[in-house]
């Protein structure tokens, strides 16, 4: 987790770099160690391939619905 502190401190830079965001999400997912839904890995793979969160959200509209149902916002 200590190694992610520098990445987390640069969250603003990640919004314009989907590949870096995907790498950070993958690291966080492994560090947490809990089972993740298959959609998590799909989103991470899409980010790592260069898709923007907006592109992913329009390709996977069910994610926005899932976030709303969970009480979160509808952004990725």
Question: Per the structure block, which two tokens stand in for 56?
Answer: 């992913």
Q: Which helix (H) or strand (E) holds 47?
A: helix 38-48
The tens place of each residue's pLDDT in the chain, 76 residues long, gives 455 555 555 666 677 899 999 998 999 888 888 888 889 999 999 999 999 989 999 999 888 776 677 665 545 5
Map residue 59 onto helix, strand or coil.
helix
- What is the pLDDT, as a whole number, of residue 44? 94
Please choose, from the candidates 58, 3, 50, 47, the residue with its C-alpha nearest in 3D space to the C-alpha of residue 25: 47
Q: What are the strands, taking DSSP E only, across 1-76?
A: none
Please answer whether residues 39 and 8 qualify as being in contact, where contact means their C-beta atoms are separated by less than 8 angstroms. Answer: no
Q: Rounded to two decimals, what is the model's pTM?
A: 0.68
């Amino acid at each position: 987790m200590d190694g992610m502190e520098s990445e987390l401190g640069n969250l603003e830079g990640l919004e314009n770099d989907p590949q870096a965001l995907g790498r950070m999400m993958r690291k966080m997912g492994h560090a947490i160690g809990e089972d993740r839904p298959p959609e998590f890995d799909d989103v991470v793979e899409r980010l790592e391939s260069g898709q923007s969160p907006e592109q992913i959200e329009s390709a996977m509209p069910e994610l926005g619905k899932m976030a709303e149902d969970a009480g979160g916002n509808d952004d990725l």
